[in-house]
């Protein structure tokens, strides 16, 4: 099980790529850069890399990494990292929150803004006090509640799909749920999800993430 991710040498300017053994929780190697020509050049130099023959490789949604891994290990399962994927859904929730926030009274606007982070984690992971505050936020807007419930459904899909086949059906249903939410940010997120459906659902082949890499 390999994990591939970039990390900043100088944030916003220079990035390197780390290659990680997820089972052993170790960095195997790092290479300069994250562009495709640098990745291809690396694969041509040390023969040990191409002999790894991983069952699966976990990455974010950077097309460059997926192209490179498909060239180096065409039989490996490519998995879109769960936490990166979930970030796109959380971003759409926060985009809806901001649009709702602009329509509220000053007091309600302040409450929603100061507690907006409560919208991101799964509700059952929050302490009781935070759950009460969350319910107050959701009461401000039916649209906000709808997109939050859609986000919660995604967490449940990740946690409770028992196998790949069921997960694939559940992903389709989740996308259909999102289609009914009339907000541009949700539709943009859905387009990304559909474009990466195979890599997202592939998580349910072996349920690995890049948490160790992060």
Q: What pLDDT was estimated at residue 13?
A: 72
Q: What pLDDT was estimated at residue 61?
A: 96
- Average pLDDT over every residue of 205-211: 94
**Confidence grade of residue 62 (pLDDT, cut at 50, 70, 90):** very high
pLDDT above 90: percentage of residues in the chain: 90
- Average pLDDT over every residue of 183-188: 96
Average pLDDT, the chain: 95
pLDDT score of 10 more than 80: no
**Confidence grade of residue 27 (pLDDT, cut at 50, 70, 90):** very high
Q: Degrees (nearest 5) of the Cα angle 82, 138, 153? A: 30
Q: What pLDDT was estimated at residue 48?
A: 86
| Helix, strand or coil, per DSSP, at residue 56 | strand
* Strands 77-80 vs 56-59: parallel, antiparallel or unpaired: parallel
Q: What pLDDT was estimated at residue 35?
A: 93
pTM above 0.95, yes or no: no
Give me the helices (H) in 60-202, please. Answer: 63-72, 82-101, 106-114, 128-138, 142-160, 164-179, 184-195, 197-201
- Average pLDDT over every residue of 40-59: 90
pLDDT score of 11 more than 80: no
**Confidence grade of residue 81 (pLDDT, cut at 50, 70, 90):** very high
- Average pLDDT over every residue of 82-105: 96
CA pair distance 40, 11, nearest whole angstrom: 23
Q: Are 33 and 17 in contact (CB under 8 A)?
A: yes
Q: Are 131 and 123 in contact (CB under 8 A)?
A: yes
CA pair distance 6, 9, nearest whole angstrom: 10
Instruction: Label residues 98-108 b or e (16+ Cβ within 10 Å = b).
Output: eebbeeeeeeb
Q: What pLDDT was estimated at residue 214?
A: 84
Q: What pLDDT was estimated at residue 67?
A: 97
pLDDT score of 45 more than 90: no
pLDDT above 70: percentage of residues in the chain: 99
Q: What pLDDT was estimated at residue 12?
A: 67
Give the tens place of pLDDT for each residue, 142-172.
999 999 999 999 999 999 999 999 999 999 9
């Amino acid at each position: 099980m390999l994990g591939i991710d970039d990390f900043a040498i100088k944030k916003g300017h220079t990035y390197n790529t780390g290659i990680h053994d997820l089972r052993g929780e170790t960095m195997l190697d790092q290479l300069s850069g994250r562009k495709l020509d640098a990745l291809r050049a690396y694969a041509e130099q040390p023969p040990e890399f191409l002999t790894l023959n991983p069952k699966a490789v976990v990455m974010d949604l950077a097309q460059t990494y997926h192209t490179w891994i498909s060239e180096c290990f065409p039989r490996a399962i490519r998995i879109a990292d769960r936490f990166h994927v979930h970030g796109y859904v959380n971003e759409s929730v926060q985009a809806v929150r901001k649009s709702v926030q602009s329509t509220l009274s000053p007091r309600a606007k302040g409450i929603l803004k100061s507690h907006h982070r409560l919208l991101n984690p799964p509700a059952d992971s929050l302490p009781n006090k935070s759950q009460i505050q969350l319910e107050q936020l959701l009461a401000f807007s039916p649209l906000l509640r709808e997109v939050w419930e859609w986000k919660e459904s995604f967490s449940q899909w990740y946690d409770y799909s028992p196998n790949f086949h069921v997960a694939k059906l559940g992903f389709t249903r989740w996308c259909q749920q999102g289609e009914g939410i009339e907000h541009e940010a949700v539709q943009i997120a859905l387009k990304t999800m559909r474009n990466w459906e195979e890599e997202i659902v592939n998580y349910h082949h072996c349920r690995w993430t890049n948490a160790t890499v992060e």
